[in-house]
Chains A and B, each alone.
Chain A
């Protein structure tokens, strides 16, 4: 046996268990989800008839699915710009200071490592209508008290605020790395040209930071499209909030598949989510594959 063949055999031996894993636990279930989405699939009932695209049609006519889709879009459209803007401001501020930079960075990062379930309950308590510190502050300032999670108009933004709080530190770290990757000479050249302040930021920092911005927007969007734990735990007694105002796609899937046992329909909803994430990922690849011109 040649040396090359021997090494190849070793490679296959090492890859055996991992490949089995990726095939049976990742790839096959993805196809299985598509298969289930074409069937009337109730875990309790032994009969699982093929129904074609019936489940997708049911989804299209289910107001809750529409609600979940619109809400999920709103989470993305509100949360991502807020997170990116705040993250960029904080990263620029951290770059300006010399002392306590590590301390601030660590403080802002803390929510990112905190168990989401625990954090969600703390925020629910903070938003409490009569006993929460947020309304306590409003009362001190002689402003009208707010219902927050109890209001169909406010609950989605209340959950978004908690999510931004959670990911802000991560965003800051990503931006700090992006800012550090900008070669010093550009700043020196800009200083020679007399550019500073807003002009420097707008015409130099932002274009050079573009790959980081695209990465943040795409990564963030994928995370926000999959919001579940925060929503379930912040509106625990009334899953999905008042009038389904906080309901997300994943929470909808969870309720449909595991509380109402309509797994065919739930699988169809996940197929829709998968298609959306796939399109976003492919778009990102196209945008990011363009070389950055310094």
Chain B
């Protein structure tokens, strides 16, 4: 750090990091302030309190919304992980008529924006009674065309000799995928799982359309409506935001390297 240029780079990066991190700090500081202090601009709460958190947790159905989000994100992630990796494997490693057409058809669905689908999904959900059900919230996300594309790329790298050896040993076709191919692409699968989970955990457009009662709300929908009704109780709004953000940041702190490297792993191949 003797070089003044390098020192300047550190300084600039530090200043940028403070700007980027400030909203998180302000959220936490506001969540810890009692209502009487909330309109006071001091950076450190004079009388920090956890009362806002207890109020959000007891007065709203926050724990229920958290649970709903957990259920929705966990099931969609498991489904995407299983089906996308299976399709990716079949398209990369098995020979059969129609393979190219099927792959192009799946790829083509990537170009359709979600906004275009929500209206037909809503019409469909009304017809089949899926409105305001877990299935209704989840069904659009049970498979991902991007995931199929991604896994197929990685499956292509699995050596055919490995599969042939398995066939010699009498491994079933499903076993070849599950026991031999799948363990080979673990990093790509982990990245796909993380991003699918995050995407569903944060999803807002479709859930806000399909959910109609307070009990079925996912976390983002619950927070949006709670905050909209809380008026100027910013201490409570910030406490509910903090309760939604902190678990995600906690997970991010642990999986930081995999998440960021997952972007490089997956993003650059597309």
Contact = CB atoms under 8 A, between A and B. Distances in A.
B90 A96 contact: no
B123 A43 contact: yes
Most B CB within 10 A of own CB, among A36, A93, A114, A133: A114
Contacts of A36: 119-120, 123
A245 interface: no
Given A8-B96, A109-B260, A274-B116, A22 B106 contact: yes
A274 B112 contact: yes
Interface stretch (B152-160, B185-193, B234-242): B234-242
Most chain-B CB neighbours within 10 Å: which of A21, A106, A116, A123? A21
A21 B102 CA distance: 13
Given A29-B121, A30-B112, A177-B268, A15 B90 contact: yes
Contacts of B115: 226, 228, 249-250, 253, 270, 273
Contacts of A33: 116-117, 119-120
Nearest to A125: B234
A19 interface: yes
Contact of A114 (B143, B204, B249): B249
A116 B202 contact: yes
B216 interface: no
A18 B87 contact: yes
A136 B41 contact: yes
A170 B260 CA distance: 8
Given A117-B220, A263-B119, A273-B116, A8 B20 contact: no
Which 7 residue pairs are nearest across A and B when measured between Cβ atoms?
A29-B120, A8-B96, A118-B241, A32-B120, A270-B116, A117-B220, A136-B41
A198 interface: no
Interface in A220-276: 225-226, 228-229, 232-233, 236-237, 249-250, 253-254, 257-258, 263, 266-267, 270-271, 273-274
Contacts of A17: 83
A126 B19 CA distance: 12
Contacts, number: 257
Given A115-B223, A278-B111, 17 more contacts: A8-B94, A10-B173, A11-B96, A14-B89, A19-B102, A30-B116, A102-B256, A104-B13, A109-B256, A109-B259, A116-B202, A117-B219, A177-B268, A226-B113, A226-B114, A229-B205, A249-B115
A165 B27 CA distance: 15
A263 B87 contact: no
Interface residues of A, number: 88
A155 B246 CA distance: 28
A79 interface: no
A277 B224 contact: no
Interface string B1-44: 00000100110110011001111101100100000001101000
B51 interface: no
